[in-house]
Amino acid sequence: MRQKRTLITAVVLLGAVFRLNAQFGVPNLLKYDKKPFHFGFTLGFNQFNYNIASKADLAEYDSLMTVTTRPMSGFSLGIVTNLRMGKYFDLRFIPGLSFGDRYVNYTIRYASGAEIVTPKNVESVYLELPLLVKFKSSRMLNNLRAYVVAGGQYSFDMISAKKKKAPDNGEVVLKLNPHDFQAQVGVGLDFYCTYFKFSTELKMSFGVMNMLVPENNMYATSVTSLKAKNLQISFIFE
C-alpha cells in the first residue's frame, strides 16, 4: 500500500508540472544548456530488493521449503554535479545516501505440518557514488526534454551486518558484504521552469556482486547468489 501511494504521488506531481509547462509555453532558461557545469540536489524514493538464487534441491535441509525476498521502500538524498559534454550528452556524478531495508524469507515446515515464514531483515544505509552518461533530446514544447541515463555505481553499506555478532538469544544474522558495484539505467523528463530546472527520473540498479557472506548455517548455505536490484524514483532540482 505504501509503494502504491508513493507511485500515485509521483504521477500526480509529474502531471501537475507537465500541465504548467504546457500552459506557459514561453521558453525558459535559454542559456542554461550552454553552461559547462550545473549543480543541484535530488530527493528520491527507492525500493530495495535482491535477485536471489537458492540451491536447486533444498532437500538436504529437511524442513526448508523455499527462499524468497520481499522488497521494502526507503528514501535517498544526493548532490548533483553535471558536466556538459555536447549538445545532447552530459556526464553526471551524483553522490548521496540511500536508506532502506528488505527481507529474505525462509519458509520452514515444522513437525506439526505447519509452514512458517522466518524473515531475515537486512537494513542498509548506502553511501552511493554513481557516474552516469545522460543522453537528452531536443527541447519539446519549449520547456521539456526527455532523456535516458546509463552508467555504473559503487555502493558502500555503512551499517553492514558483516561484522556484527549474533544476538545473545542465538538468532542467526544474515551477513552481507558492504561493498557493491551496480549497473544503472533510467529514463526521465527535464522541465525548464522560470528560475531552475526540475527533473523527474525512474532508474533501475542491478548489482554485479554476490553480497552474501558464506557461513556455516542453513540461511547462508541454502542461497547460492544474492545480488542487489533497486528501483528509484527521483525528483531533481538544478
Q: Is the dihedral of CA 185, 187, 192, 195 positive or negative?
A: negative
Say whether pLDDT at 147 is over 80: yes
* Structural domains of the chain, count: 1
Under the banding of pLDDT at 50, 70 and 90, the label for residue 115 is: confident
Report, as an integer, the average pLDDT of 154-178.
75
Q: Which of 22-36, 150-164, 197-211 has the lowest mean pLDDT?
A: 22-36
Report, as an integer, the average pLDDT of 63-73.
84
Report, as an integer, the average pLDDT of 34-46.
93
Backbone conformation region of residue 150, classed left if phi is above 0, alpha if psi is from -120 to 50, else beta: beta
Of 80, 2, 97, whose CA–CA distance to 41 is shortest?
Answer: 80
Say whether pLDDT at 18 is over 60: no
Q: Which residues contact 35 (CB under 8 A, 6 or more apart)?
A: 84
Q: What pLDDT is recorded for position 192?
A: 93
Domain that holds residue 28: 2-237
Cα distances (Å, whole numbers) of residue 158 to 79, 135, 181: 18, 32, 15
**CATH code: domain of residue 21:** 2.40.128
Q: Which of 20-29, 57-66, 187-196 has the lowest mean pLDDT?
A: 20-29
Q: What pLDDT is recorded for position 153?
A: 96
Q: What is the mean pLDDT of the chain?
A: 84
Say whether pLDDT at 19 is over 60: no
Report, as an integer, the average pLDDT of 68-91.
93
Under the banding of pLDDT at 50, 70 and 90, the label for residue 238 is: very high
CB burial string 16-52: b at 16+ within 10 A, e below: ebeeebeeeeeebeeeebeeeebebebebbbbbbbeb
